[in-house]
Copies of this chain bind each other. A is one copy, B any other.
Amino acid sequence: MTNVSIIGIGCTAVNEHWDTSIRHLAWYAIEAALDDADISKVDALYVGNMLAGQLSAQNHLGALVADFAGLRGIEAVTVEAADASGGAALRQAVLAVQSGLVETALVVGVEKMTDQTGSPITAALATGLDADYEAMQGLTAAGAGALLMRRYMHEYGVSVPDFAGFSVNAHANGADNPLAMFRNRLKAEAFAKASPIATPVSLFDAAPAGDGAAAVIVVNSEKAMDMSPQPIRILGSVLATDTLALHDRKNPLWLGAAERSTQKAMVMAGVTPDDIDLFELHDAFTVLAALSLEAAGFAAPGEGWQLARDGQIGRNGRIPISTFGGLKARGNPGGATGMYQIVEVARQLRGQAEACQVPDAKIGMAQNLGGTGATAVTHILGI
């Protein structure tokens, strides 16, 4: 268990925010988190971001966001691990507070993909893959998802409609989340007929890119008891890595970093998969949802999709996932996604999830992946 707790949370809606700059997005989430914690100062800021350099011609977000959010002068850096940047930024804040050298840490995940003048988004997102051995050969993020899905279908004898349950569940939950990018419900029949993006990945397998920011404030757990009526404890916090290139892995269908980060986080937290009341996983593609459930020990290899088929991933199922819509329906704002997962788990544990509430949630897990699982950041939160 760490000695760190969350005392404030906040986020913007995920959407195409055409009229909002990256610094404004970050500020809105930070303002909400500061208000929620009822504080106005912090000692350090960790910004999780992947693409501002390419898409906004803006690096150096740490100092920029600190200043724009009214926190001029504080310690502030950007943490990057592709689309796992959000989770990775929280991990740095946990280390900082645990060290005793930083008292109050603010973490914001932020990404701005709409109304950009830099690289095309597809090329920018491919910088999370291996540039020399994958992206330069033409592989894109969706292409990598397609390779994984095709291989999964081949190895385990399943077909495209078998993945439908993940997107149906995500959209059902997203429909209940006012901050979700897509609030339409989805039927399995529509899933089966969706337009292809990179076959077999279709429009309804792939999570949409969006703009957004999500923030939390962490302090040590003793202090949190004094400062917050409902502190959320960070029971486990582990970041692990794997090869960037899929072809370098012995078994491309096994998310080794996700497995190791989950196992270590569970040991740290003193829990088993049975103790987890909800799991915000990284469903950038339906196949990644299946593989994440398998790597985390909720299903045997090749059987993750059956949890979706059998209705076990819904709010009242064995392991609720994507409870606010997940990447698929809430939207996937790149380096901000990991922080949305944390905010959402915290809302569940506080009992503030409203229509998305998982009954009696006490322990929640969030897992943020970078690339095709080359980085996996697992946080286990509890009350």
Residues of A near any B CB (own CB < 8 A): 2, 21, 23, 50-51, 53-54, 56-64, 66-67, 72-82, 88, 91-92, 94-96, 98-102, 123-124, 126-132, 135-136, 237-244, 248, 256-257, 260, 370-371, 374-375
Contact = CB atoms under 8 A, between A and B. Distances in A.
A131 B95 contact: no
B63 A241 contact: yes
21 contacts: A53-B80, A56-B131, A57-B127, A59-B82, A60-B129, A60-B244, A62-B88, A62-B375, A63-B242, A63-B243, A67-B248, A72-B242, A74-B240, A75-B239, A77-B79, A77-B80, A77-B239, A79-B79, A94-B101, A99-B100, A101-B237
A127 B370 contact: no
A123 B59 CA distance: 11
Nearest to A135: B57
Contact of A241 (B72, B94, B239): B72
Given A60-B82, A77-B375, 9 more contacts: A51-B59, A58-B127, A58-B130, A62-B88, A63-B375, A73-B257, A77-B81, A80-B80, A95-B99
5 tightest Cβ-Cβ pairs between the two chains A and B: A58-B131, A63-B241, A98-B99, A59-B127, A60-B82
A238 to B, nearest CB: 8
A18 to B, nearest CB: 16
B240 A60 contact: no
Contact of A60 (B67, B81, B260): B81
A242 B73 contact: yes
A81 B64 CA distance: 10
Contacts of A96: 95, 99
A332 B40 CA distance: 38
Residue with the greatest number of chain B CB neighbours at <10 A, chosen from A50, A59, A67, A371: A59
B63 A244 contact: yes
Nearest to A370: B60
A242 to B, nearest CB: 7
Contact of A73 (B51, B67, B76, B240): B240
A contact patch SS = mixed
A113 to B, nearest CB: 14
A100 B98 contact: yes
A243 B374 CA distance: 34
A213 B257 CA distance: 26
A257 B67 CA distance: 12
A248 to B, nearest CB: 7
Given A73-B260, A79-B78, A240-B73, A127 B60 contact: yes
Nearest to A78: B80
Residue of A98, A127, A237, A239 with highest tally of chain B CB at under 10 A: A127
Most B CB atoms within 10 A — which of A60, A75, A94, A242? A60
A62 to B, nearest CB: 5
Contacts of A67: 241-244, 248
Contacts of A375: 60, 62-63, 76-77
Contacts of A237: 101
A51 B244 CA distance: 19
Contacts of A256: 73
B59 A80 contact: yes
